Each structure stands twice: as structure tokens, then as C-alpha cells.
Chains A and B, each alone.
Chain A
């Protein structure tokens, strides 16, 4: 038996040399760098020209945009890079020759996962200069930077693990790559669809009361105390997004946002894309009121307009964070698929899926 980490290192080295086809990956990395550079430049330029608070918020938005870019590219590319790691080797006839050596199946599968993860991290590495630049523009506390990068790295690991795990579970490379894409799409877009449709499907009645003012008040030049009209009551159907917001918690973009957001400026607005995204998800937690009353008359009489709407910061503070639930579920899914994949690849093989050869 080869010591676990030593076996892992050999497999990772082999995998990186074998699967990471030089030119293609470098071209992708180059394109990605150019894209990030362009986005950085444009965001920076527009914020300077429009005189957006003298640059306030630019650094935060720039940083979070780049992080989201890396997550997008990573989740789009990881399935292609690692989605055929095990079954592709089987088809090429190199899996069995590795399995008859002294490395264990766990070392092979986990090594392939690590190699796929390292490859997707390359996108993070080339974007580091831009992240650093946006960080030096200020505004973002180091905590946000650290947490967002950590969550990003974990999410990339999850996608890599799903890809490699499925490639060990499913026999044909094309099918396992497609399934990995489906899983990524289900988490990234499917959760949004489920959230939207789920919220609309479950609707409740809302009772709205409106107390208006006699038109004479306005005709008389808005002087004196207005005469109140009798309350008008009508009901509407409102979607219950508060019942299905859990779907959003499973979205990797929301996980990243929810974990990293929480920085607000003086007026209570988020200073980065994380906060903006997370607020959208957090606001869905608030149930619609069963009854709303808009008393225009009373407001005019007392001279003060209605209560000020809660600021984003107020909403943030009144709702529950959910990122650890989503992240935990992702990690469990990834680890489960890896474990399943190892079990399916173990030799001497007892049961084989029909049509699958060991070698």
C-alpha cells in the first residue's frame, strides 16, 4: 500500500499532465484574463466618469463581480475538465492499468478530484491581480474578501467533486459530463425557477384597506384638516415567496452572496454585488402581511408621510442567514458522489453495470 498522500500526489501529477491539455487550457485562461481585465477597466472607468460618490462602492462591486466571474467560469468549465475523469480513463484503457498497481481506488478517484479542482483554481489565480487591484480601491473589509474567496474555493471544489464522482458512477463520459452540467444548472438556475414558480403557486389573500381624502381638500388648496372618506377594502392574491425561499439557499451564487454580504454604506445600501444579491434572497424570507392599511387621510392630518420604508440594512438585520445550510448541502452532495464513485470503481469488481467493461 502506498501512503495515502504520496499516492494522491502521484495521481494528481499524472492527471494534471494527462488531462489538462496544454494549449486549450492556456487559451481559455488567456480569454478569461482578457475578459476580467475588460470588466475591471470598464467598471472602474464608468464609476470615475459618473462621479459615483467619488468612487465609493467601486472597489466592492468590482471585487464581487470578479469573484462571480470566477464562479461562473469555474462551474462552466469544471464539468468539462473533470466530468470524464474516471470513465474517460476506462474508455482509453488506462484505468485498469492504474488499478492493478498499488494505489487504491480512493487514491485514484480523490486524486482526480483534486486535479480537477486545482485546474479550476487556475482561473482564480489569474484573476488575483484584478482582485488585488479592486481591493486596494478600498471599502471592502478583509473579512468579506476572505470569506468570499473561501466560499468560492469551496464551491469550485463541489463542482469538481460532482464531476469526478459522476464520472465514476456513470459509465459513459458524454453522459456523465452532461449530468454534471445538469446538476450545475439545477443548482444555479433550477433553484431560481423552483423559487419563482413555487412562490407563485402558493398564493394567499391579502386584505388592503385604503382610507382616502375627500377631493374637496385638494380643490381648496390643501388647507385645513381633510375630510376622510370611508375606508375602501379590496383583496388581492400575493405570492408566498417566504415559504419557498429555501430553494434560493441552495443556489451557489446566493450562498456566496449570503456568506460574503453584510457590508453597508452610511445610507444602509450594500457596497458590493454580494450584498445586493443576498438582499434579494433575504427579502424573500419576509412573509407578506395579511392585511395592509394605507391611511392617506391620517398621514395628511398628522402632517407626516407614512413610515419610512426599511433600508436594505434593516432587512438584512431582520432576516436569517442561510449560506451555511446551502454550503453544507453542497458539500454533502459532493462528498456523497465521491464516495459512491469510489464504491462503484472498487476492484476486484463484483457487479458491473451492463455493458461496462473493467478494462
Chain B
């Protein structure tokens, strides 16, 4: 799976599917929840919406879901404008909110059936559809339970089922994985991947970045109400990133080899039984691995310590709007001016 953060691509021509957002702005009084967002999400792909709390992700999704009108900017959802033709957008959009509301006294089956009716399905079709979705989200055992008795994770699945009732071509999922157990997360991932494979546009916001890495094809980073520019993303991508190295054999072999390879000690830290080295690029990482193997270090693990999304997210978070690539921590290689204290390796 490619995980190149994708922010700005040429807007799709009007009438095309997917989501196209340009120059979006929305404030609540003095609070500029969304100040400038431009991105697109394409059909057949899962697009991750990544950003810290309060970055404007939920406000953006509310505008896409036809609930909020933007102050400025344009939105196209499957070729329709949510402001001028909300009806058309609602027909093709499934929205799973971050607030887990459910009709407390209704059974799971009746809640889904009612949603189907609200989408204009006939009574028979709605009943059928409820059964399909109950098994799709694995709530069979709870189909007759009142929704108020559901756990958070189960409500999450009910909410997903409700979003899928009318077989939408665009899916807006706001924190879909929160509260799900690992098995349900895997199931959700498979389900969402499958939905995208069928040609649907899926926009997912989540804080669980590791999970988005496995789920999303593209990513949109938002920060303080704005989508992050391509340049800043490129800078973040070129910043140093930690690599996790584990080796077996002589305990000091790895440390010795690292110091022989002129890795500054400040760029090395030990976490548990593994060593984490801050490395500026993939080329350097490859050279480092070759060097270690050459020196007879029996490497068992050599991998980025964090995913791409997480690294970018953290880097943007750490250095908001500052143009300094790489952050303040030492990285390898850091020039060859530093004094080597080879004595301590022994």
C-alpha cells in the first residue's frame, strides 16, 4: 500500500464523483473552526483526515454531510453542492457522526429499519435491509436489544450500519474505530477497504494513526482549520525519523558497530531491548543497515519506529508553522565535526 501523504491534487472536473473541497471556511462567532481547507478525495480510495483535536475535522464533515453551510468556499460531493442541493447529496452520502446518538428505546433492528424508511425505502425493503446490515456489522445477537443497552463499540457498529443503509457512494466516517475491540477493528478495516474497492469514496477521520496507515490510500492533514500545504508536508517527510533496530548475539556488538559507523550518541536511544536511531532519510537507513550487516551484527528488526502518518502528524504538531525541518533533535548523519568518544564502546 502506498502511503504518500497526498494533499493537493488538481481538483476533479465538476460532475465527477468523490469529494472536492476548495477554499472552505466556516466560523462560529469568533471561533474559526475551518479557515481554509482545500483537498479532494477520489472514488475507489480511502482518504484519511488527520489532525489534532480541534483542527476542524468534525466541522468539515458536518459541512460535507449537508448539516452546516460554509461561510465561503465550494464543496462538491459526488458532483452535487451540499448547500444548493442537499437533497441530492443526502441521497448518496452516508455519514457516521462522532457523537454516538441512538434512539434509546428502539431495538437495533427497528433503529436500522427506521433509518431505511427515513431514506424513503419501502417497508419490505427496509426490513430486508435491516437484516442485511445487522449481519454485516455482526450485531445479530443484539438485534432485538434496545440500543441503550449497547456498549460503545456496539453503538459504533450500529452507527456504521445506519450510515450504510442507503448504499451510499460517498462515506464520511468520523472516528469510526474508537471504542472497537481489535477484532472489530480488523473487520471494520476489511469492510471499509471493500467499500472503497467497489468504487466508493471514503473519507475517514481518526486519531488512531497506526490504524489509518493500514486503511487509507491517501491522507489529508489538517491543522488549526487549514489543510496542510504540500511544501510543509514535503518538509515533514524529509525530517529525521526514528528507526527501530534489534539484534541478537553479543550485547555490545550493535552499539560498537553504531559508533564505528559514526552515528552520534545523541541520535541513539535505547527503548527496552531495541535501539532507536534517528535517521534523516531512507537512503541513510539503507546504508546503515548494510554497514551493520557488514560488521557482523545479527540484525533481527530494522524498521521505522512510527508510521508515516504518525511521523508527519507529530512533526507538524511539534513544529507548528515553523520552517525548521528535522526538528531540534540530533540525527544521523549530522556532519562529521562532533567529537567521537570511541573509548566508551569498550
Q: Which residues of A contact B159 (CB under 8 A)?
A: 97
Query: How many angstroms between the C-alpha atoms of A195 and B67 in the bound complex?
Result: 46
Which residues of A are interface residues toward B (Cβ below 8 A)? Answer: 1-2, 7, 10, 13-14, 17-18, 21-22, 89, 92-103, 347-350, 352, 354, 358-359
Asked whether, in the complex, the Cβ of B102 is within 8 Å of the Cβ of A100, the reply is no
Q: Which residues of A contact B102 (CB under 8 A)?
A: 93-94
Query: How many angstroms between the C-alpha atoms of A135 and B162 in the bound complex?
Result: 51
Asked whether, in the complex, the Cβ of B67 is within 8 Å of the Cβ of A359, the reply is yes
Asked whether, in the complex, the Cβ of B91 is within 8 Å of the Cβ of A97, the reply is no
Which residues of B are interface residues toward A (Cβ below 8 A)? Answer: 28-29, 62-63, 65-69, 82-83, 86-87, 90-91, 93, 95, 97, 99-106, 110, 114-115, 117-120, 159, 162
Which residue of the partner chain B has the closest CB to A101? B118
Query: 15 new A-B pairs (CB below 8 Å) besides A347-B67, A347-B68, A348-B82?
Result: A10-B114, A10-B118, A17-B105, A17-B106, A94-B103, A96-B65, A96-B97, A97-B101, A97-B162, A100-B66, A101-B118, A102-B91, A102-B118, A349-B69, A358-B62
Q: Which residues of B contact A96 (CB under 8 A)?
A: 62, 65, 67, 97, 99, 101
Asked whether, in the complex, the Cβ of A17 is within 8 Å of the Cβ of B118, the reply is no
Asked whether, in the complex, the Cβ of B99 is within 8 Å of the Cβ of A359, the reply is yes
Among the listed A89, A102, A358, which residue makes an inter-chain contact with B90, where contact means beta carbons less than 8 Å apart?
Answer: A102
Given the known inter-chain contacts A99-B67, A101-B119, A102-B118, please indicate yes or no for A92 contacting B101, CB distance below 8 A.
Answer: yes
Q: How far is the CB of A13 from chain B (nearest CB, A)?
A: 8
Q: Which residues of A contact B63 (CB under 8 A)?
A: 348
Which residue of the partner chain A has the closest CB to B29? A354
Query: How many angstroms between the C-alpha atoms of A92 and B102 in the bound complex?
Result: 7
Query: How many angstroms between the C-alpha atoms of A17 and B117 in the bound complex?
Result: 15
Q: Which residues of A contact B86 (CB under 8 A)?
A: 347-348
Which residue of the partner chain B has the closest CB to A347? B67
Query: How many angstroms between the C-alpha atoms of A17 and B105 in the bound complex?
Result: 7
Asked whether, in the complex, the Cβ of A359 is within 8 Å of the Cβ of B87, the reply is no
Asked whether, in the complex, the Cβ of B65 is within 8 Å of the Cβ of A93, the reply is no
Nearest 5 A/B pairs, CB to CB: A93-B101, A101-B118, A93-B99, A348-B69, A94-B101
Asked whether, in the complex, the Cβ of A358 is within 8 Å of the Cβ of B118, the reply is no
Asked whether, in the complex, the Cβ of B28 is within 8 Å of the Cβ of A100, the reply is no
Query: How many angstroms between the C-alpha atoms of A18 and B103 in the bound complex?
Result: 6
Which residue of the partner chain B has the closest CB to A94? B101
Q: Which residues of B contact A349 (CB under 8 A)?
A: 67-69
Q: How far is the CB of A86 from chain B (nearest CB, A)?
A: 13
Q: Which residues of B contact A94 (CB under 8 A)?
A: 101-103
Asked whether, in the complex, the Cβ of A101 is within 8 Å of the Cβ of B28, the reply is no
Asked whether, in the complex, the Cβ of B87 is within 8 Å of the Cβ of A1, the reply is yes
Which residue of the partner chain A has the closest CB to B61? A359
Q: Which residues of B contact A103 (CB under 8 A)?
A: 118
Among the listed A22, A97, A348, which residue makes an inter-chain contact with B97, where contact means beta carbons less than 8 Å apart?
Answer: A97
Among the listed A2, A18, A100, A348, which residue makes an inter-chain contact with B83, where contact means beta carbons less than 8 Å apart?
Answer: A348
Given the known inter-chain contacts A102-B87, A102-B118, please indicate yes or no for A348 contacting B105, CB distance below 8 A.
Answer: no
Asked whether, in the complex, the Cβ of B66 is within 8 Å of the Cβ of A358, the reply is no
Q: How far is the CB of A45 from chain B (nearest CB, A)?
A: 42
Query: How many angstroms between the C-alpha atoms of A10 and B123 in the bound complex?
Result: 11
Quick one: which of A10, A98, A101 has the most chain B CB within 10 A? A101
A-B contact pairs, 16 of them (CB 8 A): A2-B118, A18-B103, A18-B106, A92-B101, A92-B104, A93-B99, A94-B103, A96-B97, A97-B97, A102-B120, A103-B118, A348-B63, A354-B28, A354-B29, A359-B62, A359-B97
Query: How many angstroms between the C-alpha atoms of A146 and B1 in the bound complex?
Result: 74
Query: How many angstroms between the C-alpha atoms of A358 and B68 in the bound complex?
Result: 7
Asked whether, in the complex, the Cβ of A102 is within 8 Å of the Cβ of B62, the reply is no
Asked whether, in the complex, the Cβ of A352 is within 8 Å of the Cβ of B28, the reply is yes
Query: How many angstroms between the C-alpha atoms of A101 and B117 in the bound complex?
Result: 9
Q: Which residues of B contact A1 (CB under 8 A)?
A: 87
Q: How far is the CB of B123 from chain A (nearest CB, A)?
A: 10
Asked whether, in the complex, the Cβ of B118 is within 8 Å of the Cβ of A98, the reply is yes
Q: How far is the CB of B245 from chain A (nearest CB, A)?
A: 46
Query: How many angstroms between the C-alpha atoms of A350 and B68 in the bound complex?
Result: 6
Q: Which residues of B contact A98 (CB under 8 A)?
A: 118
Given the known inter-chain contacts A17-B106, A354-B28, please indicate yes or no for A102 contacting B66, CB distance below 8 A.
Answer: no
Quick one: which of B66, B99, B110, B115 has the most chain A CB within 10 A? B99
Q: How far is the CB of B193 from chain A (nearest CB, A)?
A: 24
Asked whether, in the complex, the Cβ of A17 is within 8 Å of the Cβ of B110, the reply is yes
Query: How many angstroms between the C-alpha atoms of A95 and B114 in the bound complex?
Result: 14
Asked whether, in the complex, the Cβ of B62 is within 8 Å of the Cβ of A21, the reply is no
Q: Which residues of B contact A347 (CB under 8 A)?
A: 66-68, 86
Among the listed B65, B66, B117, which residue makes an inter-chain contact with A10, where contact means beta carbons less than 8 Å apart?
Answer: B117
Query: How many angstroms between the C-alpha atoms of A13 and B117 in the bound complex?
Result: 11
Query: How many angstroms between the C-alpha atoms of A109 and B99 in the bound complex?
Result: 21
Q: How far is the CB of B96 from chain A (nearest CB, A)?
A: 9
Q: Which residues of A contact B66 (CB under 8 A)?
A: 100, 347-348
Q: Which residues of B contact A358 (CB under 8 A)?
A: 62, 67-68
Q: Which residues of B contact A10 (CB under 8 A)?
A: 114, 117-118
Among the listed B90, B100, B105, B117, which residue makes an inter-chain contact with A100, where contact means beta carbons less than 8 Å apart?
Answer: B90
Given the known inter-chain contacts A100-B67, A100-B95, please indicate yes or no for A14 contacting B101, CB distance below 8 A.
Answer: no
Q: Which residues of B contact A2 (CB under 8 A)?
A: 118, 120
Q: How far is the CB of A133 from chain B (nearest CB, A)?
A: 35
Q: How far is the CB of B171 from chain A (nearest CB, A)?
A: 12
Q: How far is the CB of A135 from chain B (nearest CB, A)?
A: 37
Which residue of the partner chain A has the closest CB to B110? A17
Q: Which residues of A contact B162 (CB under 8 A)?
A: 97
Q: How far is the CB of A12 from chain B (nearest CB, A)?
A: 12
Query: How many angstroms between the C-alpha atoms of A339 and B162 in the bound complex?
Result: 29
Q: Which residues of A contact B119 (CB under 8 A)?
A: 101-102
Asked whether, in the complex, the Cβ of A348 is within 8 Å of the Cβ of B90, the reply is no
Which residue of the partner chain A has the closest CB to B116? A101
Q: Which residues of B contact A95 (CB under 8 A)?
A: 101
Q: Which residues of B contact A99 (CB under 8 A)?
A: 67
Q: How far is the CB of B91 from chain A (nearest CB, A)?
A: 7
Quick one: which of B28, B62, B101, B105 has the most chain A CB within 10 A? B101
Q: How far is the CB of B162 from chain A (nearest CB, A)?
A: 6
